[in-house]
């Protein structure tokens, strides 16, 4: 079953190839964009753990994602919506 993560971001594949340790688990084909997932794997499509292009998640890779790409996973808001102003 296809699983959608809570957060991902599309990047041009050229940006990810800037990482010195870049090596692909599978070719991205002619896709100009790939998806950096919340678990720091890279996929061809939007689904988590499907069509994985890169899965060597290391501290160096996550630092590259944060420092070079500006990838930040937003905090999850688990609080129920406020009812202020509703009558």
pLDDT, tens digit, 9 for 90 and up, residues 43-85: 999 999 899 999 999 999 999 999 999 999 988 766 666 666 5
Residue 52's contacts (CB-CB under 8 Å, 6 or more residues apart) are 25, 26, 41, 42, 43
Mean pLDDT of the region 1-24: 92
pLDDT value, residue 78: 63
Order of strands, sheet of 42-43, starting from the edge strand that comes earlier in the sequence: 8-12, 33-37, 42-43, 52-54
Query: pTM of the entire structure?
Result: 0.81
């Amino acid at each position: 079953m296809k699983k959608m993560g809570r957060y991902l971001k599309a990047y041009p594949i050229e940006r990810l190839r800037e990482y010195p340790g870049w090596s692909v688990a599978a070719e991205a084909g002619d896709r100009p964009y790939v998806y950096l997932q919340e678990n720091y794997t890279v996929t061809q499509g939007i689904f988590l753990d499907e069509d994985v292009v890169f899965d060597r998640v290391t501290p160096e890779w996550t630092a590259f994602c944060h420092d070079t790409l500006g990838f930040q996973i937003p905090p999850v808001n688990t609080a129920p919506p406020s009812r202020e102003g509703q009558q």
